[in-house]
Chain A
Amino acid sequence: MSAAYPLGPNAILEVREIEKSFGGIRAVDRCSLVVAPRSVTGLIGPNGAGKSTLFNIISGLYRPDGGEIWFGGVRIDGLPPYGIVRLGLAKTWQIPHELKKLTVLENLVLAAKDHRGESLVNLFFNPSGIRKDERRLREQARSILALTQLSNLAHEEASSLSGGQKKLLELARVLMTEPALVLLDEPVAGVNPTLAASLMDLIEQLRQGGTTFFLIEHDMNVVMKRCDTVIVMHQGRKIAEGPPDAVRKDPVVIDSYLGG
């Protein structure tokens, strides 16, 4: 059941026996796993293994058919997606979901938690509080844009960004929610190697600042070099887990995913 590997009760995220079917297809089949705090944990597996479905279940976008999900001591399965984000668990999309007609900066400021200006009542009764929040969050957004090398695009409509820039925007936007755990669905797919490397450097830097990352990635170089722990999924289940080197040599993994 709740596996003691690697840190047992020290897990920031624990998935217990999660199940999800679409029609007759079992996308996730009693999957259990644990993500350690302040780790970069990779999730790999062949296409159709259930990785993205599992991410959508964890972030509340899909309701599981069975099982439990615990995040930092709180049971989160059944909570709405916005409630889960507010607890500090946010995800990026495999295919970017940029808010097209909003500028890059607007995309970021929107993602902030607890902006008093998003309440109609405050609009009329607390205008100074709103101005303060807006100023503070724009500052915060600008510093995140600088981190993600998007500063010069701040006032462009998000729809005008390139594919790689949209991936950066995904990460930048999610950071605005001040997450403790970030689920990244293929963060460097379609991003050029130089930019991908600096993006992974940024993730390492943020991890040292205390953020945990759980990422799906098909680029084995990235996974092997950057992850502390790798979890392998196949046909909706976890089939292996461990440090990258051990996973790479695991005969079950070689057989089902990595190939000979």
Chain B
Amino acid sequence: MRPLARRAATKKGGDPAAVDTGILVNVAFYASVSIIFAVLALGFNLQWGYTGLFNAGIAGFFLLGAYTAAIVTTPLDPPTIVGGVVIVPGHLGGFSLPFAFGAIMAMVVSGLAAVLIAIPTLRLRADYLAIATLAFSEIIRRITTNLDTVTGGTNGITKIPRLITFDPPNPFANAMVVLGAGAALVLAAFLVLSFIEESPWGRVLRAVREDEVATMALGKNTLLFKIEAFGIGGALMGLAGALFTLTIPYLEPSNFAPALTFSIWVIVIVGGAGNNRGAILGAFLIYGMEWASVILKDYVPTAFKNTIFYTRLMIIGVLLIVLIIYRPQGLLPEKRRVLK
């Protein structure tokens, strides 16, 4: 996502008024991407923070959602053939359906994928689950790279329509629409999650996390609860994928490398596992550091310019170590529930 962040951050306006909205467009972009990370973190928090299922394939479920939404919403993109040679493979699609369909389909596809992965792997111990899901996400990414008639291969999917098309193009209005849609969806996800996680159903998830065998010996079909939590978490990652197509209307497989999964772990660990507010706060903080390093690049001395990205990685590393030593429960720890 770095080059894209950079592109948005370095966009320059002509007249003074345009410069002003340019800053706002930048901030809105930062918030929109943070929201995508927040939705991913909410999904992972349900799986790991609440249920103890360590998903190492977040990027894979995110990819499935993004590609599903893109294929559902884009207009026809036929292959470009010059002299019998396929120059651009095009991709599956041409449905041109509204974003809402794209988002729902993204959730269904990613959620179903999560359930299908869950059935054989959730019987495994935590470390094997991590290995299996990491492999899944890389397999999905390789397939996406090579199945170019469906996904556009390394050319990716372009021409993803905006939620609202402004004529003439208005970056500020567009940024506000994207941010508004993202804010509404992350709020909805947060409210639904808070409701189901604080219910008796969520209590069983926390029990599974603490001690699965004991929970089973208290009469709970723990496998069923794990599949449900994993599936809903996967569906949220799919929703994040759909949001991604709104924010950055261009998809390519390299956006979905395992490094993205690791970022979500950092977000949830820093924010506080088992706390949804923490997951959202963590997303804004961790992506904020990335964004700030992109912005600051234009203002720091030349000598420092080339090292600023590595400095950010160092700061995140040190922050993580300090946090795990002094505040392992994260910035916003899990609450103790007092039942009246």
A residues sitting closer than 8 Å to B (CB atoms) are: 59, 61, 80-82, 85-86, 90-91, 93, 97-103, 105-106, 109-111, 113, 115, 117-120, 123, 130, 133-134, 138, 154-155, 157, 173-174, 177
Contacts and interface: CB of A to CB of B under 8 A. Distances in A.
A93 B213 CA distance: 11
B312 interface: no
B326 to A, nearest CB: 20
The secondary structure that dominates the B interface is: helix
Nearest to A157: B336
Given A81-B217, A93-B214, A110-B200, 7 more contacts: A61-B216, A90-B218, A98-B214, A99-B215, A102-B203, A111-B219, A154-B339
Interface in B303-327: none
Contacts, number: 103
B338 interface: yes
B260 interface: no
B334 interface: yes
Contacts of B199: 117, 123, 130
A59 B217 contact: yes
Contacts of B187: none
Contact of B218 (A80, A110, A119): A110
A71 to B, nearest CB: 14
Nearest to B211: A97
A85 B340 CA distance: 27
A158 B210 CA distance: 11
A97, A99, A138, A155 — which one has the most chain B CB atoms within 10 A of its CB?
A99
B210 A85 contact: no
B216 to A, nearest CB: 5
A81 B204 contact: no
B217 A103 contact: no
A106 B340 CA distance: 11
Contacts of A103: 336-339
Contacts of B214: 93, 97-99
B86 to A, nearest CB: 46
Contacts of A117: 199-201
B196 interface: yes
Chain B contact patch, size range: 20 to 34
B219 A123 contact: no
Contacts of A91: 217
B221 A110 contact: no
Contacts of A133: 200
Nearest to A137: B200
A229 B210 CA distance: 36
B154 interface: no
A97, A154, A157 — which one has the most chain B CB atoms within 10 A of its CB?
A97
A106 B339 contact: yes
B213 to A, nearest CB: 7
A99 B201 contact: no
Contacts of B204: 110, 118
A117 B203 CA distance: 10
B216 A81 contact: yes
Nearest to A92: B217
Contacts of A111: 218-219
Contact of A109 (B213, B219, B338, B339): B339
A86 B219 contact: yes
B158 interface: no
Contacts of B216: 61, 80-82
A157 B200 CA distance: 17
Interface in B225-260: 228
Nearest to A104: B339
Given A103-B337, A120-B196, A97 B201 contact: no
B219 A101 contact: no
20 contacts: A59-B217, A61-B216, A81-B213, A82-B216, A82-B218, A82-B219, A82-B222, A86-B219, A99-B206, A99-B214, A101-B206, A101-B209, A103-B336, A106-B337, A110-B215, A110-B218, A117-B201, A120-B196, A154-B339, A157-B336
A82 B334 CA distance: 28
Contacts of B195: 123
B336 A82 contact: no
Contacts of A134: 200
Nearest to A156: B336
A106 B337 CA distance: 8
A49 B215 CA distance: 27
B334 A130 contact: no
